[in-house]
Each structure stands twice: as C-alpha cells, then as structure tokens.
Structure 1
C-alpha cells in the first residue's frame, strides 16, 4: 500500500529502513557520532566514495543505453550528469570538511569492489544469473534492465543521508550548545541537509518509479530484491570499515569482549519481549479448544473474569506505588521495597488461576503444538540462532513469569537450550495431562532476580578464568517484573512499546530511560565500562537494535 501511495522507491526504502540499524551501531558511525573516530578510517571512507560515484557514473551510462524511450534516456542522462558534477567537485567538497583525499587509496577495498561488481553486472544485463543483452533485447527488456540498475543505485544516497541525519541528531542532543569543534560535523551536515544531495536522492527514486511503472508483479519483486541486496551491501560496507587496533570501540559487544577470557551472558524475558502475545493468552486460547472440564461458555466467562481481575489489580498496584513526587536520584532500595507489593500481587494472581482449575485437562502434545505456533517479534529468533551458531562463547537464558515453560521451549524449538529456559511449569499426570496446578519457580521480580544470580554464580564457578576477568551481563525485558534484573545487569535493555508501567514505576524511583543508540554513543565518548545499578536503562523498539549492539553483522 505504501509503495502505491508514495512511489515504488519510497516503499522499498520503508521496507528496508530497519537494515540501517546495523550501520548506525557500527564502530564507524558510533565513533563518528562520539567525535573520536580515527581520522585514517574517515579518510579511507571518503576516498571509497569516489569509487562509488565512479561506479554510478558507469552504471548510468549503461542504463541510458538500455533505456528505449527518449524521455527515460533523458532522465537517466540527467542523473549521470549530476554524478559527474559530484565527481568533479569532490576534492573541493572534501576540503570544506577539513580533510584531503589520500593519494594512496586509488584501489577500492573489498566491500566497495563487491558492491561495484554487483551494480555493474546488473547494468550489463546479468540479473539473477541470466543475461539480458541490451543490444538485441526488446524495448521492454531494455527498460527492465534500466529499472533493475536504478534499484541497485537508489538506496545509496537515501541510506547515507538517513544515517548522517540520525547521527547528527544524536550529536546535537549530546552537545545542544556546541558542536563547532566536532571533527565530522561538516560531513554529517553535507549528507543529511545539503539540498543537492537531497534532490539527487529524490530524483533517483523518481526515475526508478518511472522505469518500474510497466513492470509485472514478478519483475517488481525482483526489483525489490535488488534494492534490498544493495542496502545490505552498503550496510556491510559501513560495518566493515577498518578501525585501527589502537582505537577503543564499544560495539559490537561480542567483539569488544575477549570471549576467550571474559564472559558475556544474555538474559531475556519472554512474554511480549520475545513473543508478540503473552503465554497466558496462548494457554487461554488452548483451553477453550480442548479442555474437557468446562463448558465453552463457562470457561470463557471464567477466563474473562480472571483477566479483568488481573489487569484491574495490576493497574491499581502500580498506581498505589507511584503516588507522590517522583525521585530525581535513583533509589534502588526504594524500588525494591515497592516491588514487594508487586510480588505479593503476582502470587495472589497465580493462586487464583490454580484455584479456578481453568488449565486442568490440557495435553502436553497440545501445549507443545501451541508453543510452536507462538509468533516471536521480528529478529528475535534470528538473534538467538546467531548466538547458537556463530557466538558459542555467549551464554543466553530466558527467565519468564509464564505458567508453562513447555510453551517457551516449544516456541524456541532448538534455537535455545531447554536448560536455559527458566519458568514456572504446569503439573502433569502420568498420562501427560495437566492437573491445573502450577509448579511455582519464578512468580515475582525477586524470584526472577534469584534465577538471574543463580545462573551467574553457576557460570562463574564453572569458568576457568582468573578472578580479574570481566563478566558482562545484559538483561532484556519490558515488564515491571523485570526491573530488579534490569537494574542489576551491567546493561539493562527495555524492549518495546508495552513497557509503560515499567517506565512509570522506574521513573518514580529515579531510573533514567535512554535510547540505546544514544547511550552507546555516550559510552563511546567517555570510554568507560558499563556499570550495574547506575539507574540508567536503555530503550529499543526492535530486536535488530539488540542484535546490532551485541552481535553486529
């Protein structure tokens, strides 16, 4: 829908914006924002831009030859002329940034060469392994090749402009009164605000829209795929820019930590942090389908009553805790004292569920099947898969209030060790049918914290590392019940928009909530270790941010 209303190219950009996170969290952009990027890396980057511009000029020339319509040729020729203008003026522009292009960097690096090869193969008519020779192709086939070429070029200026805009906004926030001495401010301003750059990005997208108009649905899907590949190559390029060994960087955590000697442990809540719907809703849905102990009408009535009682009681509990003037300084003891009310409320709520018997008669097979259908947030499964397959030195655990750990184990399948899932359990008969009883292991914020500490103690006692080695703890959550673990971790990450109660309660006791990227840049500026109980928690909206920060590409 967005593509039709705003144009094909803008729709493609919206579909691919999340990829930009991996560039924003790269050592290059984090260090640029912090103002302490080694100048040699920056000079390398701006010298590679020359190779990108030269590749665009060559591709536009080839695309113009492919275009059959005179008006289309004129549009592409204009883009070609704009790029040539940028090439001729590039030395002068770089000097305005306060730099010189190194004379020794006349050869593209591996990632620049990879993108250039990708682009020129498409411009020559080689797409998805098939050759479309422009000299003998039909007019429609020629236009198709030109559209594919524009799809491979269009993301470049749009992505770079966006990355520089976000970086500049962080810089302005961290230095609201003075950015004049920032080494890279002119470069950031040029790509985020320069009118010619914005116009070139817009014109490129407009031409892509024009060339895409006659394409079939299958050809548009291929165009979208090429656009996505171009974005990924650009992001990979920024992530691979060489950082000198002597420069200290804070991202990605998995590379910053020496996992041969140090330890990195990741903890996560499950309901609404990993999953889109909480486990209670999944169990309720399952109960209405298969439980033999109730009529459907009575069961729905009882489940609705339990749900309403929980929601109303929870809101009242949080409201009663947050009466009065919010604190300006982080009060860890006060927060823990207040959470005792939450703990008592959660225990009473679980007791009501047990007494009702609504989850009596469920089968283990049915629960496993329901767990396999649980929808996880985009990027969550990939994050844990990447840890399992590529970062075996990282220990990952899920700690959840869920009544049924089997649901979580089934949701993750083999992506997370079963022993690394810590939750309550439903009791089963010998025939694998639930009794309605809850085996209570993790009911309260403090029991979550106990599980958290027990895991850490187990890791440290089983480690052969010396006492002086580091153990970095990251906790990801979004509920009030996660607060103790979040503030206890070296890095507490608050996920998603469903964390309003957590933020309200945390703010009342002096907790600060900072967007993760801004916090990372600030840490890069100060180059200090992450610290527990600092009273600062970091917010994210996507698992892509978490993966970019912890694992990188």
Structure 2
C-alpha cells in the first residue's frame, strides 16, 4: 500500500480533470507537444551549449542553417499574406515578414555580436531541407491527405492556407523561446564568461517572446472560422513542425564527448545498463491498491442479494467499501506519524545515508503491520485471477512510460535489463499491465496474492514489503548481473520506500512530487536537483576535469516531472 487506498477509482478509467482555459490554439498545441521539447532540451547540442562548453565549430555549423530557415520563413509569410482575406491580417503578416527580412539582413552582424563568425558558405543539411520543404508545401496548400484545388477560388480557402502556414511556423519560435529560457534560468546574472550567453540572452529576451506570441495570436485569428476537420489539419501541421525541429537538433553532428544520451555514451560491449523502476504512481496513474479495492467492491455481493455457498465467505460491497475506507484512513494517518517520528533527530548537516537507513527501519515495521491488517480484514478475498489480468491490461500508465520501455526492449544494440521493484500486492497486475504493450521481458519483483483455484484467499505472499527488502532485491539483482560487464544503474522511483535504492544507484531519478520523500530526504542531507540542471553540471565537469562520471551514494537525486525527460536523458530522441 502506497499512500493509502483511494476508493472510487474506476478500473481502466482516466482521472477526472477539471476543464481549464488553456488559451488559444497556439498555446493548446504547445502544451500537447511539450513532451517533444524534452528531446531537444536534453540533446547533446543543448546540454553542451548550456554548460558553456559546446565546441564553437558545432555552434557555427548550427547557426549557419539559420539563413536557410529565415529565407523559408520570409517566403512562407509572403505566401500567407497573399492568402489572407482581411487587410488587417495582411498587414500583421507583412510585419512578421518584414521582421524576418531584417533579421536575415542583420544575421552576420548579430552572429559577430555573439562572438562568432559565420562560415563563408552555408549548405543546408538534410534536416533543414526537410523542414523548409514542409513549410513551403504548407504555405502552398499542398498538405498530405488534404485536398486543395489547384486554383484557390474563394477567400475562405485562401484564409485556410494562411492558417496552415502559421501552424507550420509557430512551434519554431516558441521552441527557441522555451529552450533559451530554460538555459537562462541556470546562469548566474553576472556570468559574463559563458561562451553562449549573448545567444541565450537574445532568444530569451522579451522581444523574442513577443514575436513568438504574435505568431500564436495570428494563428488564433486565422483559425476562427475553420471547421473541426480543418483544425485537426492545423494541429497535425503544428505537431509535424515540432517533430522536424526535434529531428534537426537530434541529428546535428557533435564531435565532443557528452553525458547524454546515457545509453549511447557508454559502450554496450563494456557497460551493462540496469534500469530499476517502482510501479505505483511512478509507472501508473493510480495506486494499484486502489484498483484492487475497486475490483473487490464491484465484484462483491450486495448485502440483500442471494449468494452461492462460495460467496458466503465474502463481505458485501457496502461492508467492503467501509473496510477499505477505514484501512486507507488508518494507513494515511499512521504513515504521516511514522515520517514525522523519523525527523525527531537533529537535521543532518551533510548526506547521512546510515542515519536514513536506520530511520527507514521504522517504515519497514509500519508497512508490515499495514499489510497484516489488510490480510486479517479479508478485503482481498474472492478476487478472480482473470479479472485481475484484464484490469492490469486496462491499467492507465503515466504518459510516455510504456513507450520508453518498449523502445528499450526492442533495441537489440542496448546491453540493458529492466526490473520493476514494487510493494504492489499483486504481481499479476503488474505483469498484465506491461504484457499488453509487448513488454514481457520486464522482470517483476513484488508481492503476490495467494489463490485457490484462481480465486484469491485474502492472503499475500509477502516478498517486497519494505525499503530494506527493496534494497535487498536491488543488490541481489546486481550481483547476478556482474558477469555482464561494468555496471551502470538507474533507479526511477517516487516514494519513501524507493529512497535507499535511488541513493545506491549510479543515477537516482525522482518522478513526481511526494512531499514525504522530499521532507525525509532533506532531513538526512539528500540534495534534489532538477535533471536538466544536473546534466549541465555533469557536462561541465566532463569537459573541465574529465570527470562527470555517475556514482552511487553521492547524496544527490535528480527530479523530473515527465517520462519524456527520462526518455530523452537515457535514450535520446
């Protein structure tokens, strides 16, 4: 049980999310492609640039492509202006085009202000050509799967194509504004020695943000009269433009050593990468105990119903709901008390792994008592194995989790194992959740429900109940992997029970925002560092003194808010 049972969560049903005003089309589309931005931010190019140690020739090669992009922008704006049916719209698009032409003219001077010289000749690379061809095709109305007449007859048809053009342009400006702002946040205000500070300042400026916003506002205005089907085309164009931007930065040649992506910078012939992961709320959107609780309540007999002899041993659905609610409330209250009691000692001035390990023994005893109460209550009695497997197959995983593991198991070039270490009571639920995505190769280590003829008895075969048992499983797995080469370990978790394993791993990644984990970690001197910031620091160390190696028990854990960040860090785009 992690954080108590949430009774009332439907099996296979997504969370109820309040409708919020996300702004216009541009803002909504940007939110939808935000996972793609991680692939750019965590690329070798931008991690190196943010560190201040990107090789100048690599940077010059990249910005030499700006000329080809700017020319395509100017041409696309001209075509969009011709398609707009309103004088005000035409004037606004004309101003956007004028700004691009001014930037194109000033580009060599601007690059000199950044402290660089452009090469004498710039040849567009393949990724540049793919984007510019895509942009001009959109501006011409040549959209894949979209029928546009050879001769555009009506003002409405022309306006539609102007909107298509802005959709194909929008994410480019927004991406640069976002990336530069993320990097700017890592720099000290007085850090004038950073080689790329002027470039970062330029793209994170209010003027550049205003330009990105103007394109989004123009897209909103041009799209007002479009049909739902046409808006779907707009969204596809926006997403495709973003994909092409990701491809551009992912394929830029980098001749220097980098710390990303983790799986590629270490030779698979020498290094064996072992990835460990928690399950509840790290992989899943809901705690598995909530799923099992709902299954028990739904399948239980009604209090006044006729029941067979086999059902007589089960509580009614009303009694089960009350029992689950009481167990959940008691778990939550006692867990909070347990965490608070671990912090009675003086706050550690530096990382104190031994102190944390000793304190977590209290959690071990608490978790075992909680599991015993669940067994004695009988709330897990009478569940059908096949029902649980079907529930597992419909289990909602965190966005990007399944695709991350799929890419690992399907890549034959990676020397990688993946292990799920979980407090979950039902290993069949975990295995079913991953088997539906062709992820049978993931190795599951958890507790198991006990059965008689495929029906649960209410008991639990207790294998992984505590932080200590997770750590023991972690170490046993590594001992069995020693013959596969040098070990590099990553542990992805989000609960107090994951703390010891995350700290022992070479890279410990905290997914989510558990206040108990943060509070306890802070008390024992654990540092929580955003993953991108940590990678930039590692890249700087790699270049400056040849270190930058990952090593367990450093006292530092890296925080992420999405699986897209984990994917980009370990596997790249």
Q: Give the TM-score taking structure 1 as reference length.
A: 0.94
Q: Post-superposition shift, 1:417?
A: 2.7
| 1:169 alignment counterpart | 185
Name which of 447, 454, 471 aligns with 1:424.
447
- CA contact under 8 A between 1:171 and 1:179: conserved in structure 2? yes
- Unpaired runs of 5+ residues, structure 2, are 1-17, 301-310, 543-547
Residues 5 and 491 of structure 1, relative CA distance in 2, 3 Å threshold: closer
Which range moves more in the overlay, 108-117 or 62-71? 62-71
Residues 102 and 418 of structure 1, relative CA distance in 2, 3 Å threshold: closer
Name which of 233, 236, 239 aligns with 2:247.
236
Residues 133 and 124 of structure 1, relative CA distance in 2, 3 Å threshold: farther
Distance 1:314 1:72 in 2: 60
Name which of 312, 334, 342 aligns with 1:321.
342
Question: Does 2:301 align with 1:288?
Answer: no
Name which of 260, 275, 295 aligns with 1:251.
260
1:29-48 to 2 correspondences below 5 Å: 29-48=46-65
- CA contact under 8 A between 1:512 and 1:537: conserved in structure 2? yes
Distance 1:171 1:29 in 2: 14
Higher-helix-fraction structure: 1
Name which of 389, 392, 408 aligns with 1:371.
392
| 1:523 alignment counterpart | 538
Distance 1:2 1:281 in 2: 24
Question: Does 2:541 align with 1:512?
Answer: no
Residues 457 and 324 of structure 1, relative CA distance in 2, 3 Å threshold: closer
Which range moves more in the overlay, 66-75 or 287-296? 66-75
Question: Does 2:467 align with 1:445?
Answer: yes
Secondary structure in 2 matching 1:434: strand
- CA contact under 8 A between 2:528 and 2:559: conserved in structure 1? yes
1:45-444 to 2 correspondences below 5 Å: 45-105=62-122, 107-130=123-146, 132-133=148-149, 135-172=151-188, 178-193=190-205, 195=207, 197-244=208-255, 247-291=256-300, 292=311, 293-390=314-411, 392-413=414-435, 414-417=437-440, 420-429=443-452, 431-444=453-466
Deviations 1:263-309 (A, max 9, x none): 11111000011111111111110100124411122111211111111
Distance 2:251 2:186 in 1: 22
Which range moves more in the overlay, 161-170 or 291-300? 291-300
Distance 1:4 1:433 in 2: 47
Which range moves more in the overlay, 10-19 or 336-345? 10-19
- CA contact under 8 A between 1:380 and 1:543: conserved in structure 2? yes
Q: Post-superposition shift, 1:74?
A: 2.3
- CA contact under 8 A between 1:253 and 1:550: conserved in structure 2? yes
Deviations 1:52-83 (A, max 9, x none): 10110111122222233333322222211111
- CA contact under 8 A between 1:409 and 1:418: conserved in structure 2? no
Q: Post-superposition shift, 1:5?
A: 6.4
Q: Post-superposition shift, 1:437?
A: 1.2
- CA contact under 8 A between 1:271 and 1:278: conserved in structure 2? yes
Distance 1:133 1:20 in 2: 35
Q: Post-superposition shift, 1:260?
A: 2.2
Distance 2:73 2:468 in 1: 58
| 1:471 alignment counterpart | 487
Q: Post-superposition shift, 1:27?
A: 0.6
- CA contact under 8 A between 1:132 and 1:145: conserved in structure 2? no
Q: Give the TM-score taking structure 2 as reference length.
A: 0.91
Residues 476 and 101 of structure 1, relative CA distance in 2, 3 Å threshold: same
- Unpaired runs of 5+ residues, structure 1, are none
- CA contact under 8 A between 2:505 and 2:552: conserved in structure 1? yes
Secondary structure in 2 matching 1:154: helix
Which range moves more in the overlay, 35-44 or 392-401? 392-401
Secondary structure in 1 matching 2:383: strand
Residues 199 and 507 of structure 1, relative CA distance in 2, 3 Å threshold: closer
How many residue pairs were aligned? 537
- CA contact under 8 A between 2:152 and 2:158: conserved in structure 1? no
